[in-house]
């Protein structure tokens, strides 16, 4: 019988460092499965990135205010998912809100001009996305779709599904911090231990320390984190991050970061993003969703919740 081994595959996708970690005995099969999973991530990026001119998202955006765009079944299902997220979040998860980036400069120190923000905000609103059959149209010129709010998470789930279909039982997909675990560690010396995920301290830049704020144990399913530390500006000693409220156009205020564990990465990402945008109400909302999470409050205090029977658990370091 072949000996157990751990293989790691590092690659770049969706403007992020990514990796696949696989434990198993069939090295050839593991390499083939990883190659197929990485190709799937690249396919999703090519198809749905708003940064690529030939993507389906770019074609929809280019036709805004004018023409209808015909969708294949995958794109149509993601449009339906975006619609569900918008309704379930009371409009706080809005796939048309990416256009707000035009008035926010997180490399500087200035806040958006109120008049400019108001103009761009008029182009935000999922209710202005028109659908008929398998076609879609953005009602107003200048509107944009952006699947960035769940694109990496969707790709992580798709990559994990391919690995599973290839017979992989022990793997961790990591797409820029959005993760999906297929079972526990497989190496005999690990004895079925969960994958240990380090959660970045949201004030690591201020503290000048790389020490994580916590470790989460992930056995199966998805983990996603939203925070105010990836892209932000400081104005008047106040931090404004890239997680923007699509209703007001302003930066989410409240939690420093939210990490959510769920049955899949797409769900985890949606829950963490909405909780960030809800600010001070995010904690109560996560509890109402019966989610497993680790939340860092505005004062740095950690709050955790583990749903009974979950395969994963938050464990503060």
188 and 224 in a single domain? The answer is: no
Taking alpha carbons only, the member of 273, 274, 276, 315 closest to residue 292 is: 315
Q: Which CATH number does the domain housing residue 278 bear? A: 3.10.520.10
Do 68 and 167 fall into the same domain?
A: no
Across 54-58, 144-148, 149-153, 210-214, least confident range: 210-214
Q: What pLDDT is attached to residue 205?
A: 82
Residues in the chain: 317
Residue 79's domain is classified under what CATH number? 1.10.3980.10
The reply to whether 102 and 216 lie within a common domain is no
pLDDT of residue 1: 56
Pair (99, 114) in one structural domain: yes
Confidence label for 306 from pLDDT (cuts 50, 70 and 90)? confident
Q: Which of residues 192, 226, 259 is at a domain's end?
A: 192
- Examine the fold and report which residue of 175, 192, 209 is the final residue of a domain before the chain moves on: 192
User: Do 115 and 158 fall within a single domain?
Assistant: no
Question: Distance (Å, rounded) from C-alpha 169 to C-alpha 166?
Answer: 9
Q: Do 221 and 300 fall within a single domain?
A: yes
Same domain, 157 and 205: no
Do residues 91 and 169 share a domain?
Answer: no
Q: Is 90 exceeded by the pLDDT of residue 141?
A: yes
Lowest mean pLDDT, pick from 202-211, 247-256, 293-302: 202-211
Mean pLDDT of 217-237: 95
Query: Could you tell me if 183 and 253 lie in one domain?
Result: no
Model confidence at 307: pLDDT above 70: no
Same domain, 32 and 151: yes
Which of 225, 230, 218 lies closest to 173 in space, CA to CA? Answer: 218
Residue 60 sits in the same domain as residue 4: no
> What values do phi and psi take at 16, rounded to 5?
-140, 150
Same domain assignment for residues 166 and 43: yes
In tens, the pLDDT along 53-94 reads 999 999 999 999 999 999 999 999 999 999 999 999 999 999
Measured distance CA(205)–CA(197) in Å, rounded: 20
**Residue 191 in this model has a pLDDT that exceeds 70:** yes
Range of the domain at 231: 194-317
Average per-residue pLDDT for the chain: 94
What's the number of domains the chain is made of?
3
| DSSP string of the chain, one letter each residue | -PPPEEEEEEEEETTEEEEEEEEES-HHHHHHHHHHHHHHHHHHHHHH-TTSTTSHHHHHHHTTTT--EE--HHHHHHHHHHHHHHHHTTTSS-TTGGGGGGT--TTSSPPPPHHHHHHHHTT--GGGEEEETTEEEESSTT----GGGTHHHHHHHHHHHHHHHTT--SEEEEETTEEEEESS--SGGGTTPPEEEEEPPTTHHHHT----SEEEEESSEEEEEEESSSSEEEETTEEEES-B-TTT-SBP-S-SEEEEEESSHHHHHHHHHHHHHTGGGHHHHHHHTT-EEEEE-TTS-EEEE--TT-S-EEEE-
């Amino acid at each position: 019988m072949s000996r157990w081994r751990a293989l790691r595959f590092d690659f770049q996708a969706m403007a992020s460092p990514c990796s696949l970690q696989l434990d198993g005995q069939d090295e050839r099969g593991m390499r083939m499965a990883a190659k197929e999973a990485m190709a799937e991530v690249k396919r999703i990026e090519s198809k749905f990135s708003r940064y690529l001119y030939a993507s389906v998202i770019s074609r929809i955006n280019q036709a805004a205010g004018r023409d209808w765009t015909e969708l294949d079944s995958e794109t149509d299902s993601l449009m339906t998912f975006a619609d569900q997220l918008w309704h379930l979040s009371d409009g706080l998860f809005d796939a048309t809100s990416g256009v707000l980036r035009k008035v926010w400069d997180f490399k500087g120190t200035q806040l958006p001009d109120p008049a400019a923000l108001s103009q761009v905000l008029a182009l935000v609103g999922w209710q202005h996305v028109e659908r008929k059959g398998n076609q879609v149209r953005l009602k107003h010129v200048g509107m944009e779709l952006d699947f960035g709010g769940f694109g990496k998470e969707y790709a992580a789930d798709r990559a994990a599904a391919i690995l599973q279909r290839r017979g992989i039982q022990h793997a961790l997909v990591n797409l820029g911090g959005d993760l999906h675990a297929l079972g526990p560690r497989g190496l005999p010396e690990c004895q079925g231990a969960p994958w240990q995920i380090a959660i970045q301290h949201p004030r690591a830049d201020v503290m000048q320390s790389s020490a994580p704020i916590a470790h989460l144990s992930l056995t199966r399913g998805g983990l996603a984190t939203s925070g105010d530390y990836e892209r932000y500006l400081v104005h008047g000693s106040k931090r404004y991050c890239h997680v923007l409220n699509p209703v007001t156009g302003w930066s989410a205020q409240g939690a420093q970061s939210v990490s959510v564990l769920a049955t899949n990465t797409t769900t985890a990402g949606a829950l963490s993003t909405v909780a960030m945008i809800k600010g001070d109400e995010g904690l109560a909302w996560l509890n109402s969703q019966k989610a497993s999470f680790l939340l860092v409050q505005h004062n740095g205090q950690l709050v955790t919740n583990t749903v009974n029977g979950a395969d994963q658990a938050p464990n503060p370091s």
